[in-house]
Structure 1
Amino acid sequence: MTTVAGELRAPAWRGGFGRLWSAAVLSRFGDALRTAALPLLAASLTDRPLLIAVVTACGYLPWILFGLCGGAIADRVDQRRAMWTVDTVRGVLVAAFAVAVALGHASIALLVALAFTLTTLQTLFDNASTALLPALVGPEALGSANARLMTGQKIAGGLFGAPLVPVLLSAGAAAPFLADAGTFLLAAALVASLRTGAPERAPRPAGSTLRREIAAGVRTLWQDRPLRGLCAATALCNIGMGALIATLVVLVTGWLHAGTAGYAAATTAYTVGGLAGGAVNRRLTAALGPVRTVLLAGTAQTAALVVMGSVPSLTALVAAMAAFGFMGMLWNVNSTTLMQQRSPAGALGRVSSAFRTLGVAGAPLGALLGGAAATAWGRGTPALLAAAFFVLAVLALIPAARPDAPAAAPGDGATTARVPG
């Protein structure tokens, strides 16, 4: 399947990409601190797996409620300004949460409120970020740029961020959240320093509304066969991922009895695997094509999940998490690059939001299913449940691996198609 015209190239660090990379990596470091600390904090407040899973589920819910609006807004506004504004607000919110934790006011309800609010803001930030990258690097460098962004985020988030959480927690339960607030504010300053200029867009037709623009983005995604198949597969995978992520701390600390050190080892292995995946992505994608690379990744991740849920050994879990991270990086880089390459100019925010919203929609369900499965059948069963959904995802992706089809235009009267060569 051919989606890129010409030779694949590496992005130049100048021209804004270096600062965007630095902001993304710094922000991911803070996110890793918060993401790892939240379930541990939740586990200290309750021993009920279902309640812990609710915290994760509410972190996904805003994508279903507001994701499409976030993408449409990202296509209308200055994406750079939207990003630094959102990061500033998130920094202030997390700082206030850290103060509440330090004062002993933490509760499951407060954790749920924080997860919901931060993800609501993220619906605008992520879509704006996806739409901004093609303005900073050329189309032939998008794949490498995405790989470098995601690899840098893996290094900062998993290799440094997640293992640092136990150390920070020794200084107090609020410490990871204070650090996260600081990274949000620094990342906002970096993004604000970008000089990309206001985005050039064609005038919108009379009577154009957010609803019509959202509908155009959804139609574009549906009419593009590779993106449609990839979106369906991602939605199924995210049901499984929701089940796994929501109960991973329970699996490690409750089933394997490995404690917080074991939890850090598992997440670090996932990061190391992701780094290896980012290193080989360019060559593997050149050999197989992006859709077939994703197909391979999904198949291998299914096997890794079976190991996680059936072998009660920390060593086996760490190895499976490394393989899972390796293949997950291949999946994420190629799916994001395909979306950026095949989306119409001026509609990337909407296509991105439709893809993310439909893909993430299953994650809250998966989180609740994972919590229920762990309660009813044992703490290793959510990983096996996730494996079943990954099998369905691979089956959904097979039709998308057929020969290429032209990219679809949104038909909203305001954008034009970007058809890859």
Structure 2
Amino acid sequence: MPAKTAQTEADGARSVAWRGGFGRLWSAAVLSSFGDSLRKAALPLLAASLTDDPLLIASVTACGYLPWLVFGLLGGAVADRVDQRRAMWRVDVARGVLVGAFALAVALGHASIGLLIALALLLTTLQTLFDNAATALLPALVDRDALGSANARLLTGQQLAGGLLAAPAVPFLIAAGPGLPYAADALTYLVAAALVASLRVPPPEHPPRPAGATLRSDIAHGLRALWRDRVLRALCAATAVGNVGIGALLATLVVLVTDWLHAGDGGYAAAITAYAAGSLVGGVLAGRLARRLGRVRSVFVAGTAQIAALVAMGTLRDVVALTASMTLFGAMGMVWNVSTHTLMQQRAPAAVLGRISAAFRTLAVAGAPLGAILGGLVAALWGPNTPMLLAAALFMLSVAALTPVLKPPGSGRTPRTAR
């Protein structure tokens, strides 16, 4: 697959075509997101029914991050060596079998915290290969000028399925049978695997590898490629710092709503729903902002707006203000994600895209668990609203990391030759 010409700023004016494989990839991604959200919403409830130890319950969530830190870079190196389409459908089959077996264990009453932790570790380990392969595959299905539109539709569809449709279905599925949310997730994996397997794309053309090339050297090459690209380097730093703030927000939002606002479970549900609805709006706005401002400037504007939303959350003791702030935060988060995905796919040479994606994701994910710990400590020391102000300060550092690479729209660069 030849390297695409990269462009730093505005793009996405061209609408993506559903034919040519993108429609099937979109359907597979949205279906998988729906199933994943069923499982992720049901797992904490299952964990709470198995133990009242909050550390054990939290460990199930923590294990969802750990494989990215351990295997994320390796997953990117493998994704650049294999046929991405084949890797994706095989991973989905493996995940479908794993979750199907877990559903059977739950239905038969054999679930345990150890089993939940093992499932989280295995699924996320497989995800490190799948996600990096998916990032590398999309440019083979979509013209470069339509990548922005494609990413917006993918991320918005996933948010709609996972954020708004899946969660309300979980209580009904659990009432019908404790293993049903996981059985449904397993089914979505298998259907998604069939959709990806049906894609008709030529196998990627991998350049000859130097003698003695190893996975370790491939990983090092991906890290160097990310570091050499000043725009992607700045975006990665900004995303990593911002994710520390998001980790603090997510870990303490329920405390903010219940202890500071005294809004109860209904207020928490309203805040989560507002975030999901805002994300859908952001999917529509992402392309318009990119055309008007360019993608890097869109990320800068999105981060600045998120600072305002976080300050409002931490200072305005009002549920309506919280839901409005969460709507804005979700919308600008989607603009950020669409723009960073698109810039990565445009600027990285095809032969090294999986490794750059892996390095970017691994460094970005590392901030979330750190932020969760910091958020908990700050809330315990200074009150339940202070993690939002901590997050706002971190986002100020995040957008500051982008200022050196803010350029007028249209200023691009040609990617380096990759092996």
Query: Would you say same fold, with TM above 0.5?
Result: yes
Deviates more, 1:397-406 or 1:99-108: 99-108
Which one of the candidate residues 411, 416, 419 is aligned to 1:409? 416
Corresponding residue of 2:144: 139
Which one of the candidate residues 66, 85, 88 is aligned to 2:90? 85
Answer yes or no: is 1:272 the counterpart of 2:263: no
Deviation of 1:279 after TM superposition, in Å, equals 1.1
Runs of 4+ aligned structure 1 residues displaced above 6 Å come to 4-7
Change (3 A) 1:333 1:7: closer
2 CA distance for matches of 1:253 and 1:407?
A: 51
Corresponding residue of 2:296: 291
8 Å Cα contact 1:218/1:350 also seen in 2: yes
Alignment of 1:115-154 (within 5 A): 115-154=120-159
1 CA distance for matches of 2:284 and 2:334?
A: 10
Mind listing any 5+ residue stretches in structure 2 that lack a counterpart? 1-5
Answer yes or no: is 1:58 the counterpart of 2:63: yes
Deviates more, 1:178-187 or 1:351-360: 178-187
1 CA distance for matches of 2:92 and 2:274?
A: 28
Deviates more, 1:266-275 or 1:111-120: 111-120
Corresponding residue of 1:183: 188
8 Å Cα contact 2:73/2:358 also seen in 1: yes
SS of alignment partner, residue 8 of structure 1: coil
Which one of the candidate residues 198, 213, 229 is aligned to 1:224? 229
Deviation of 1:310 after TM superposition, in Å, equals 4.0
What is the identity, as a one-letter code, of the residue corresponding to 1:395?
A
Corresponding residue of 1:156: 161
SS of alignment partner, residue 416 of structure 2: coil
Corresponding residue of 2:351: 346
Corresponding residue of 1:23: 28
8 Å Cα contact 1:84/1:188 also seen in 2: yes
Change (3 A) 1:46 1:308: farther
Deviation of 1:255 after TM superposition, in Å, equals 5.4
8 Å Cα contact 1:269/1:319 also seen in 2: yes
Corresponding residue of 2:246: 241
8 Å Cα contact 2:11/2:291 also seen in 1: no
Deviation of 1:11 after TM superposition, in Å, equals 1.2
2 CA distance for matches of 1:384 and 1:44?
A: 34
TM-score (norm 1): 0.89
Deviation of 1:107 after TM superposition, in Å, equals 4.5
Change (3 A) 1:244 1:205: same
SS of alignment partner, residue 176 of structure 2: coil
What is the identity, as a one-letter code, of the residue corresponding to 1:237?
G
Corresponding residue of 1:39: 44
Deviates more, 1:120-129 or 1:197-206: 197-206
8 Å Cα contact 1:57/1:242 also seen in 2: no
2 CA distance for matches of 1:35 and 1:365?
A: 21
What is the identity, as a one-letter code, of the residue corresponding to 2:124?
T
Change (3 A) 1:338 1:214: same
TM-score (norm 2): 0.90
Answer yes or no: is 1:400 the counterpart of 2:405: yes
Give aligned pairs, total.
Answer: 412
Mind listing any 5+ residue stretches in structure 1 that lack a counterpart? 415-421
SS of alignment partner, residue 189 of structure 1: helix
2 CA distance for matches of 1:69 and 1:197?
A: 24
Deviates more, 1:351-360 or 1:372-381: 372-381
Change (3 A) 1:100 1:263: farther
2 CA distance for matches of 1:129 and 1:243?
A: 28
Change (3 A) 1:128 1:314: same
8 Å Cα contact 1:224/1:405 also seen in 2: no
Post-superposition CA distance 1:249-299 (Å, at most 9, x none): 454456556555544433222121111111122111111111111011111
Deviation of 1:148 after TM superposition, in Å, equals 0.8
2 CA distance for matches of 1:5 and 1:374?
A: 40
Post-superposition CA distance 1:366-406 (Å, at most 9, x none): 22333444455444443333223222211112212146463
Corresponding residue of 1:111: 116
SS of alignment partner, residue 350 of structure 2: coil
Answer yes or no: is 1:208 the counterpart of 2:213: yes
SS of alignment partner, residue 15 of structure 2: coil
Alignment of 1:317-396 (within 5 A): 317-396=322-401
% identical aligned pairs? 68
Change (3 A) 1:256 1:167: farther
